[in-house]
Amino acid sequence: EVQLVESGGVVVQPGGSLRLSCAASGFSFDDYTMHWVRQAPGKGLEWVSLISWNGGSTYYADSVQGRFTISRDNSKTSLYLQMHSLRTEDTALYYCAKDIRGGNSRFDYWGQGTLVTVS
């Protein structure tokens, strides 16, 4: 069974930094592109970042480019999101999500999310 478990969300002051983690299990983690997607309270979904299966390629939404860094440790089957220069508009539930094998197209499994509050 695929499981994605996020952690690391806390209350942080504007301008602060935070690192989110996502522990993956139940699938061959190093075969898949992984994503972070966020959802502000009461709002819709926003894609944040992706990392390829080997970490060789990373992409970001314009809203976080230059402030957030996605990484992964395949030996620990874990995904990370390092967040710097946090703004109040970064307040959201952050989900990690798995893509399909060989693709960069859709999010077929999601974690339950970790809440980041910038205040």
Give the binding site for other proteins (CB under 8 A): 35, 44-47, 50, 59, 95, 104-108, 110-113
By beta-carbon proximity to other proteins, the closer residue of 16 and 103 is 103
* Minimum gap (Å) between residue 72 Cβ and other proteins: 16
* Minimum gap (Å) between residue 38 Cβ and other proteins: 11
By beta-carbon proximity to other proteins, the closer residue of 90 and 99 is 99
Cα distance between residue 96 and residue 47, in whole Å:
10
85 and 15 Cβ atoms separated by less than 8 Å: yes
By beta-carbon proximity to other proteins, the closer residue of 13 and 105 is 105
* Minimum gap (Å) between residue 114 Cβ and other proteins: 11
The answer for residues whose C-beta is within 8 angstroms of residue 9's C-beta and 6 or more apart is: 18, 20, 93, 94, 113, 114, 115, 116, 117
